[in-house]
Structure 1
Amino acid sequence: MKLIISSTSPYSRKCRVMVREFALGDAIEEVEAHPFDDDPDLLSANPLGRVPCLLMDDGQALTESAIIADYIAERAGEPWPRDWTDRRLEALGSGLLDLTVMRRVEMVRDEGIRSDFWIGRRERGIQRALDELEAGMGEADNPHAQGPLTMAVALGYLDFRYPECDWRSGRPRLVALHDTWASRPSFRSTQPPADG
């Protein structure tokens, strides 16, 4: 199988961490693609032109990181707990990722078409999501599950693309979660490139 990724994509990173956590590197080969360049290999596997995309041995492709993560976990024998609390935290973490990516896209637009309204709206949403996730961490039984991993990836992406948001201030549970994941080899080896 091939996992088509971008090393700067937080959605790809989530899946890449899981491949490493579950020791599936021999079964799943990572292939770098550049979505904004309309990479032909990516487009042939995923007409949406987004990463990650898991191209399976039978030629079918799975798109969307949450579905790919579920498939990876199933292939590994479901080693992490899954309940509605975990799914709720995963959805909130994914929403935080979405807001942060949308903010980033708006920030790199040409100055004449960049929208301060949309940047501000996304920044306020990011802060609300962070507050909700800080509260939600009290419900998490285990930091090694898809929900907390998604949250940790989102926090890492904030450090990468929006460090001035100061997400750590007043959020000790999120800091502890991020630090737990940041110490793991799977997380360290999937850091986005500094020049990305």
Structure 2
Amino acid sequence: MHTLETLWHDPRVAVKLRTTLTSPFGRKVRIAAEVLGLSSRLAIRPADTLDPADDLRHQNPLGKMPCLVIGDEAFYDSGVILEMLDALAGGDRLLPSAAAPLERARALTQARLADGLTEAALLMVYEYRFRTPEQVSGRWLEHQRGKITRSLAVFEAAPPAADKPNLISIGLACGLGYLDWRQPVEWRGDHPALVRWLAAFSNAVPAFSATESKPR
């Protein structure tokens, strides 16, 4: 019976990461793979989530990125993939092990908060991208903005360790990076602690700058 480790280390088994270089959730996986020393095994294969002919929809019925394909089996979403990478690196690197259930649950909760911030930002961007100006809902935008504002307040009060790349800090950095890039809200003026935190994280984790999407 194959295990994750045997499949990962078998050179005959292709390992592909379906993501664009601009996806904040794909960026999470790319950073994690780099800090864990696993990036050389990943072959990046871009996907077009709007193309009905793209086989991403067969690999992930939701048609979302990132999607990790090992051989003929697909795994999603970014949180699942990061847990797999953590296990491949020996565990307890990106999040506490199951032997510490309370600490693990706390870490997963904070990681979900960081992901939720990013998801809300994406929904604000998509509101403008997929609707005409007449269709854009100010109420919907304010609803998503509230999620971002409340999440930022939590992390402003207690940011994670900047020098420890884990499920929380990687997700938060990618969320803040997406806010900087797409600018659905302006966050820096009201969150000086997070501004300092992101600069410190960027200095401590070179993979963050290496995976940055430039404005266009």
**CA deviation profile, 1:96-133 (whole Å, cap 9, x unmatched):** 01110111111222112211111122112211111012
Higher Rg: 2
Contact kept, 8 Å, 2:163 with 2:201, in 1: the verdict is: no
Contact kept, 8 Å, 1:52 with 1:64, in 2: the verdict is: yes
* In 1, Cα distance between equivalents of 2:157 and 2:197: 12
What SS does structure 1 have at the residue aligned with 2:179?
A: helix
Contact kept, 8 Å, 1:90 with 1:147, in 2: the verdict is: yes
Structure 1 stretch displaced more, 95-104 or 19-28: 19-28
**Residue 120 (structure 1) aligned with residue 142 (structure 2):** yes
User: Within 5 Å, which residues of 2 pair with 1:20-39?
Assistant: 20-38=34-52
Pair 38,160 (structure 1): closer, same or farther in 2 beyond 3 Å = farther
* In 2, Cα distance between equivalents of 1:16 and 1:32: 13
Greater relative CO (CA pairs within 8 A, separation 6+): 1
What SS does structure 1 have at the residue aligned with 2:27?
A: helix
What SS does structure 2 have at the residue aligned with 1:80?
A: coil
What does residue 199 of structure 2 align with?
179
**CA deviation profile, 1:129-153 (whole Å, cap 9, x unmatched):** 110121232x659642111111111
* In 1, Cα distance between equivalents of 2:202 and 2:52: 32
User: Within 5 Å, which residues of 2 pair with 1:52-91?
Assistant: 52-57=66-71, 59-78=72-91, 79-82=93-96, 83=103, 84-91=105-112
**Residue 2 (structure 1) aligned with residue 16 (structure 2):** yes
User: Within 5 Å, which residues of 2 pair with 1:87-166?
Assistant: 87-108=108-129, 109-137=131-159, 143-162=164-183, 165-166=185-186
* In 2, Cα distance between equivalents of 1:190 and 1:44: 27
Unmatched tracts of structure 2, length 5 or more: 1-14, 97-102
Task: Tell me the TM-score normalised to structure 2 length.
Answer: 0.81
Contact kept, 8 Å, 1:89 with 1:133, in 2: the verdict is: no
What SS does structure 2 have at the residue aligned with 1:18?
A: helix
Task: Tell me the TM-score normalised to structure 1 length.
Answer: 0.89
The number of aligned residues is 192
Alpha-carbon deviation of 1:185? Answer: 2.4
What SS does structure 1 have at the residue aligned with 2:208?
A: helix
What SS does structure 1 have at the residue aligned with 2:114?
A: helix
Structure 1 stretch displaced more, 154-163 or 183-192: 183-192
What does residue 168 of structure 1 align with?
188
* In 2, Cα distance between equivalents of 1:169 and 1:49: 35
The one-letter amino acid paired with 2:85 is: I
What SS does structure 1 have at the residue aligned with 2:55?
A: helix
Alpha-carbon deviation of 1:180? Answer: 2.4
Alpha-carbon deviation of 1:73? Answer: 1.2
Identity %: 28
Pair 141,34 (structure 1): closer, same or farther in 2 beyond 3 Å = closer
What SS does structure 1 have at the residue aligned with 2:45?
A: strand
* In 1, Cα distance between equivalents of 2:162 and 2:146: 28
Alpha-carbon deviation of 1:193? Answer: 4.1
* In 2, Cα distance between equivalents of 1:141 and 1:178: 7
